[in-house]
Structure 1
Amino acid sequence: MDLNAPRIIQEEMKHAGERVTPVFNDLSTDAAEQKPTEIESMCMSCHQMGTTRLLLIQVPFFKELIVGSFECSHCGLKDSEITSAGKIQEKGVKLVLQVSSIADLNRQIVKSDRSTIKIPYVDLEISSKKGGFTTIEGTVNTVCEDLIRAQELNAPQDQEYAAKIKEFISQLKKLLLVHEPFQFIVEDPTGNSHIENLKAPSVDPLLHVLYFARTKQQDEDLGLTHSSDTVGPDQAHLSETPMAGEPGVEPIDISDEVLQFPSNCTLCNAPCETNMKTVNIPRFKQVIIMAMVCDNCGYRDNEVKSGSGIAEKGHKLTLHIKDSIDLSRDILKSDTASCTIPELDFHLAHGSLGGRFTTVEGLISNMRDQLKDTAFTFTGGDSAEPSHHQKMTELCVKLDDIISAKMLDVHIVLDDPAGNSYLQDIYEPEVDPCLSVEVYERTEEQNDDLGLFGMNTSSTDAPLS
């Protein structure tokens, strides 16, 4: 593949605002819409000039993809690669699956080109160089095929090494029989890898999803700036322009202002403006609302962040939906909150949907749309079970029934360990018979997920000079 490909992609994105069509087109069979970019590049086999083709497409679940292929007319070498062009998530993800049956081998997985796959049972670790969409069985078979080729190449020179490879291949093939349970781990610092949940939308007891903060080295490998690389406290006042909060400078009140800053559309990647405003919710706290509208493709998005940090204790809000009035209640779901509808056996993990300030009806609509956009991708492959697709369809129908008030007498539960979620009390100052609020102490695991363990506050505790 051509090393200049990233530069060409950047140039395409740079001029995205000058185009009528988005940089990443929807996946289509129309040849007129799917014209790849062709560039000359050197063949790594014969060192003659070949042709690299790059196609920027958008597909469900993967969002943006860069599909690249190389072909050399001199030696016949061909290569292809799929790279995710989506944004890097705020945290990395570690997926731990306990493979205990043949059905688990058919689970579909999405792995980014930065992910690492581990199978501790056979002491196997694979660092992915290409992103892909495959299954557990497909991953193991691919490793076996690569090892067989390595065995054939090394057999004439090193018989002992070839024998060890053969023995290891037999161990991998035994895994596919699942005589004993084993762990299949995908660790991805970009947060863009996934393993199919066979119990969706319920919690899968065999699949554990852990989010982690990236190390400095991982941020540098991804081309991100680490927090320790920012200006230190001894350099904070080197600017010649007085800053708000410094001695002799009055603080700036931005509560009534709408701030704007440049960003890129998450759908077509065209340049756009994001609006940001602080809002005080009565009897709750201050929040920051960010909204974006893309003039190029018309995509709209909004997100809510807490403006007052993490509460001392976690909050669990339970609303009993008895009539259509309850669907119109205001609701603030922070990005640290999980959402559950027990009657549907539906659970939305924390981090899903991000922060949202909407109504109960709007939140349920967002959850339904999320299911249609992402979960159906896993239920539409060749290895997917038809019953999974039917289960998802039935769940979406039930969510539609709740939205239209055809299905009532259900509960919606917001569990937020950071205490930054809110549900409107429409009976105030009287006691709301449909709303209950539980305040609880966080577990050590929840504190760790919120980054409260090992937090370095030495720079903020130091007196200002």
Structure 2
Amino acid sequence: MEATPILDVRSVVESIDGNNNSSPVYQVESLCMRCYENGTTRFLLTLIPHFRKILLSAFECPHCGERNNEVQFAGEIQPRGSRYHVEFSSGDQKMLNRQVVKSETATIKIPQLEFEIPPEAQRGSLSTVEGILLRASNELQALQEERKKVDPQTAEAIDQFILKLKECAAGNSSFTFILDDPAGNSFVENPFAPSQDPALSIEFYERTREQQALLGYLVGPPQASEVSTGAALNSNAGPHGSVGAVAGRRAIAQSNSAEFAEAICRYTAPEEVMTFPSTCGACAVSCETRMFVTNIPYFQEVIIMASTCDACGYRNSELKAGGAIPTKGKKVSVIVKDIRDLGRDVIKSDTASVIIPEIDLELESGTLGGAVTTVEGLVTKISEALERVHGFTFGDSLEEGEKEKWQDFRARLVKLLSLEEPWTLIMDDALANSFIAPACDDIKDDQQLTIEEYERSWEQNEELGLNDMDTSSADATYNSINSS
């Protein structure tokens, strides 16, 4: 099998981060799995610019020449899984140079070829789309001579498949590249960053119990109520995008910081708090959850829940929408002119998109997840998220023109907070679960704040899982109870 060549683990780091030359390289003696002699493995902990910490390892055997490299993540598992969809057109060879970070828990799929690379087939790697496809074709080709002797028919079919895979790698065929990572630590480069990439879509999702267990979380057996509820939800309807039919009950935001409590407790009194027993999601020890219901002025009723585990120290805060799913979507916009506007409270749900037209910024729903913050805090979160997600932005492999483009955009984003010129913040939420606080007691007197309701399109309802939602049985039961 042809191994991926690497001369020095330092050279890999320098190719993505020209400024990180001070990190020490650790060297250990390791067993070569090809010749069973001792070789050398070099380790380097580094930070990919605007992505996250990774551990690079490179093995080299002086006896047989075996070489390989691997990427492992030194940071935390992300709160939600991520799924990247990239549509490649025939003849678009340049787009195949997109950088790809594949973690050890990620799966790669090409539906048109019915091709899948499971997590165990390719370990964590730092490559490009073209490099991943060529590596897969080389690994399939490695044992073809032996297959032809044992099963010529299967070997011939694999030869035909390898040709199709190489056609995709050469840019001669249209295909869809899907990178699905339950840990949320994989990444596909957007070459148009910070602008939106028409070929790339990112979906964030809640992990299943099986995926939680795969990542090493402690997962107990499902309760009977969970099984029956899941069966009822899945019996008549399939998945509907990243939000699903339970979108109306999904958390608007999750946070562990005091900022969350400080922002929300302005609207409620502490004596309204209720306490009930629950189980810690980290260590499965019994703990307490505090909950209270409050009505945010000019917004809606919300349910606030907070849990603290004395055994392991795990803390979690959650804000959920109360009441029924709104019949209309809502677009909220505010003109930011002074420092008072930067301090406006903001609730951004995970179904809301964020638009700042002055700098041509548009973030699709789900990009930042949910957030309870201020206008200033939201802009800061956007800046941090763009720097983290759009990795390789300042790497040596990036063209100078693209680097200057990104630096200019980041400067314009940060400049918004200096308030040199008025700018507009727009949040478009199909479920109307987002909110910007007025700057005065009566919202009608706030001339800078605009709230617009609109009818959701069929496509929006389909993505939210509302087109197939049937509540007739529940309505009949509710009406019979009330009538009796």
Q: Same fold (TM over 0.5)?
A: yes
Deviation at 1:341, TM superposition (A): 0.9
Deviation at 1:334, TM superposition (A): 2.6
Structure 1 partner of 2:253:
none
Q: 2:404 aligned with 1:390, yes or no?
A: yes
Supply the distance in 1 between the matched residues of 2:363 and 2:395 (Cα, whole angstroms): 23
The answer to whether the 8 A contact 1:51-1:71 is kept is yes
| Per-residue Cα deviation, 1:278-334 (whole angstroms, up to 9, x for no partner) | 875333343648799xxxxxxxx9976335367424321112234554333222223
Structure 1 partner of 2:250:
none
Deviation at 1:404, TM superposition (A): 0.4
**Partner residue of 1:149 out of 118, 142, 146:** 142
Q: 2:50 aligned with 1:95, yes or no?
A: no
Structure 2 partner of 1:297:
none
Supply the distance in 1 between the matched residues of 2:44 and 2:469 (Cα, whole angstroms): 43
Supply the distance in 1 between the matched residues of 2:69 and 2:127 (Cα, whole angstroms): 16
Q: 2:441 aligned with 1:432, yes or no?
A: no
Amino acid at match of 2:181: D
Structure 1 partner of 2:52:
63
Deviation at 1:413, TM superposition (A): 0.9
Deviation at 1:192, TM superposition (A): 3.2
**Partner residue of 1:420 out of 433, 440, 446:** 433
Amino acid at match of 2:138: E
Count the aligned residue pairs.
397
Pair 1:232–1:371, CA change in 2 (3 A): closer
Identity of aligned residues (%): 35
User: Tell me, which stretches of 5 or more residues in structure 1 are unaligned?
Assistant: 1-26, 235-251, 265-273, 293-300
Higher helix proportion (structure 1 or 2) = 2
Deviation at 1:454, TM superposition (A): 7.7
Q: 2:323 aligned with 1:334, yes or no?
A: no
Amino acid at match of 2:383: R
The answer to whether the 8 A contact 1:89-1:192 is kept is no
Select the structure with the greater relative contact order (CA < 8 A; seq sep ≥ 6). Answer: 2
Supply the distance in 2 between the matched residues of 1:329 and 1:69 (Cα, whole angstroms): 50
User: Tell me, which stretches of 5 or more residues in structure 2 are unaligned?
Assistant: 1-19, 228-268, 283-288, 309-314
The answer to whether the 8 A contact 1:115-1:127 is kept is yes
**Partner residue of 1:115 out of 77, 102, 106:** 106
Deviation at 1:70, TM superposition (A): 6.8
The answer to whether the 8 A contact 2:352-2:366 is kept is yes
**What is the DSSP-based 3-state SS (H/G/I as helix, E as strand, rest coil) of the residue aligned with 1:204?**
coil
Pair 1:254–1:334, CA change in 2 (3 A): farther
Pair 1:340–1:148, CA change in 2 (3 A): same
**What is the DSSP-based 3-state SS (H/G/I as helix, E as strand, rest coil) of the residue aligned with 1:430?**
helix
Deviation at 1:394, TM superposition (A): 1.0
Structure 2 partner of 1:366:
381
| Per-residue Cα deviation, 1:20-58 (whole angstroms, up to 9, x for no partner) | xxxxxxx77343xx668x7x9987667899998877665
The answer to whether the 8 A contact 2:85-2:176 is kept is no
Supply the distance in 1 between the matched residues of 2:320 and 2:388 (Cα, whole angstroms): 27
Supply the distance in 2 between the matched residues of 1:278 and 1:74 (Cα, whole angstroms): 68
Supply the distance in 1 between the matched residues of 2:320 and 2:154 (Cα, whole angstroms): 57
**Partner residue of 2:76 out of 76, 86, 101:** 86
* RMSD (CA atoms): 4.8
Structure 1 partner of 2:421:
407
**Partner residue of 2:198 out of 199, 205, 208:** 205
Q: 2:131 aligned with 1:138, yes or no?
A: yes
The answer to whether the 8 A contact 1:314-1:419 is kept is yes
Deviation at 1:254, TM superposition (A): 6.0
Structure 2 partner of 1:346:
361
Supply the distance in 2 between the matched residues of 1:402 and 1:71 (Cα, whole angstroms): 50
Deviation at 1:405, TM superposition (A): 1.1
The answer to whether the 8 A contact 1:303-1:356 is kept is no
Supply the distance in 2 between the matched residues of 1:383 and 1:254 (Cα, whole angstroms): 58
